[in-house]
Amino acid sequence: MNSLDSLLNPQRVVCQLHAASKKRVLELVAQHIADVETSLDVGPVYASLLERERLGSTALGTGVAVPHCRVRGLDKPLGCLVTLASPIDYDAPDGKPVDLLFVLLVPPSATQEHLDLLAEVARRFSDSLYCEGLRKASSAVSLLQSATTARAA
């Protein structure tokens, strides 16, 4: 199984993204991923993220969301870590706005790996100290460093 750390790289970390809605966040993140991962097109990535969100919110609560989906043409899982400049409504189960997202894209055939990665995301982002460290980051570099050096209990 891939560690979350191995799914990130400096180009797929976005600190203090400005977006006013869930739909806009997904659109901007899909565009960012497609810009960095030239084998992916923004349209299918955005459509897949939006389609998954229509099944039910991917917000975990406590200001965290984990948008995830399967994407054709992807040969291995990838992640994109995002903090928002201002929290947004994300239909979270606790009603709290979201300001921290881990976007997970997996190949269509990666069923068990998808579930394992989601479990790892949920475990790591359930640690309030870990999330607090991410929220304090003021740049993509410090955000990536916080994400990959801190460990959830």
Residues marked active site are found at 68
Tokens found for residue 114: 């998808």
Contact call for residues 17 and 84 (beta carbons, < 8 A): yes
Whether 21 and 88 have beta carbons less than 8 Å apart is answered as: yes
Using the CB atoms, write b or e for 122-141: b if 16+ within 10 Å. eebbeeeebbebbeebeebe
CB 60 within 8 A of CB 118: no
DSSP state of 109: T
